[in-house]
C-alpha cells in the first residue's frame, strides 16, 4: 500500500519585509506565508496543544510525518520537533520516532526509552554524532521515557542509518562468541577486513585521495557500511498502522 507523506512546516514568525525595499515577488511570498502559516505560541514542549490543532488537518491519516531542519544544531528546531512529537504521540497515536542515526546505537537508547535502562546522556553521547548530542534532544528523550511510564501511550526511539560499523560488529561478535565460538576467529578476521576497507573508502571519498585497489569481495562487504540513506529526517508511525511493529 502506498503511504501518504505529509511535511509539517510550522514557522514561528512570519517573514518581515520592508515595504520600501521589497520586490513584488518578495511581497507575494510574505503575503502567502501570512495566509498559510500555522502560528505557534512557543517551540517548547509542555505548553498544551491548543495552538497545534490545525496540524491534525495537515497530517490527516498520514502514517509518516517528516520533520526537517534548515540547519543542524539550531536550538529551536529540535525544541519544535520535541513539541510536535509530544503532540503526535499524545493527540494522534503515533508510536515511533526515527532519526538519521546509527541503528544499533539507537536501539540502546530505545532500551532506556522503553525500560529505563542506562544513562540517557551517555547513551546519546555514544551515538557519536554531535548533531544529536544536545540538551534539546536529551530533553526529548527524557520526555519519551516519562510518557511511556505514564501509561498514556507508547513511544520508541529508533535510527535508520549505519554511520559507523563498530557497535554492530561488536554485537555480532558477542553473539557468535556465545553461540558458535568456533566461528569467532573467522568472523573477527572478516570484521577487521571490512572495517579497514570502509575506512579506506571513506577516507578516499572525503579527501579525494587515491587508495590502493580493494578486492571486489571486500568492497561488496563494505558497501553497506559507509553509505548513508538520503531519507527523511524523522518519521513517525501510528500504532494502528502496523501493530507491534518495531523498527
Residue where the block lists cell 509518516: 64
Given this model, what pLDDT does residue 237 score?
Answer: 36
Average pLDDT of the chain, as a whole number? 76
Collapse the DSSP code of 152 into the 3-class scheme (helix H, G, I; strand E, B; otherwise coil) and give the result: coil
Given this model, what pLDDT does residue 132 score?
Answer: 84
The percentage of the chain sitting over the pLDDT mark of 90, rounded to a whole number, equals: 42
Predicted structure pTM score: 0.68
pLDDT tens-digit readout, 6-16 = 333 333 333 34
Structural domains for the chain: 5-160+229-235 (3.30.1870.10), 166-223 (no CATH)
Are residues 13 and 3 in contact, defined by beta-carbon separation less than 8 angstroms?
no
Are residues 214 and 186 in contact, defined by beta-carbon separation less than 8 angstroms?
no
Are residues 128 and 105 in contact, defined by beta-carbon separation less than 8 angstroms?
yes
Strand ranges for the chain from DSSP E: 5-7, 64-66, 96-102, 156-161, 234-235
Amino acid at each position: 500500500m502506498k503511504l501518504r507523506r505529509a511535511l509539517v512546516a510550522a514557522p514561528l514568525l512570519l517573514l518581515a519585509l520592508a515595504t520600501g525595499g521589497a520586490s513584488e515577488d518578495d511581497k507575494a511570498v510574505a503575503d502567502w506565508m501570512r495566509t498559510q502559516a500555522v502560528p505557534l505560541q512557543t517551540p517548547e514542549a509542555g505548553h498544551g496543544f491548543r495552538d497545534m490543532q490545525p496540524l491534525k488537518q495537515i497530517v490527516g491519516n498520514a502514517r509518516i510525518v517528516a520533520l526537517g531542519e534548515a540547519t543542524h544544531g539550531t536550538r529551536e528546531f529540535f525544541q519544535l520537533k520535541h513539541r510536535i512529537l509530544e503532540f503526535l504521540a499524545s493527540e494522534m497515536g503515533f508510536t515511533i520516532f526515527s532519526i538519521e542515526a546509527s541503528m544499533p546505537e539507537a536501539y540502546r537508547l530505545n532500551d532506556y526509552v522503553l525500560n529505563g535502562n542506562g544513562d540517557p546522556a551517555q547513551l546519546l553521547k555514544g551515538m557519536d554524532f554531535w548533531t544529536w548530542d544536545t540538551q534539546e534532544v536529551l530533553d526529548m528523550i527524557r520526555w519519551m521515557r516519562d510518557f511511556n511510564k505514564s501509561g498514556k501511550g507508547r513511544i520508541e526511539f529508533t535510527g535508520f542509518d549505519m554511520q559507523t560499523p563498530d557497535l554492530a560488529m561488536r554485537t555480532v561478535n558477542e553473539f557468535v562468541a556465545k553461540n558458535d565460538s568456533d566461528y569467532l576467529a573467522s568472523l573477527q578476521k572478516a570484521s577487521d577486513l571490512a572495517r579497514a576497507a570502509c575506512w579506506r573508502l571513506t577516507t578516499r571519498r572525503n579527501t579525494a585521495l587515491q587508495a590502493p585497489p580493494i578486492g571486489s569481495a571486500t568492497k561488496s562487504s563494505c558497501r553497506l557500511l559507509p553509505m548513508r540513506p538520503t531519507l527523511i529526517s524523522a518519521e513517525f508511525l501510528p500504532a494502528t498502522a502496523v501493530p507491534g511493529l518495531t523498527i
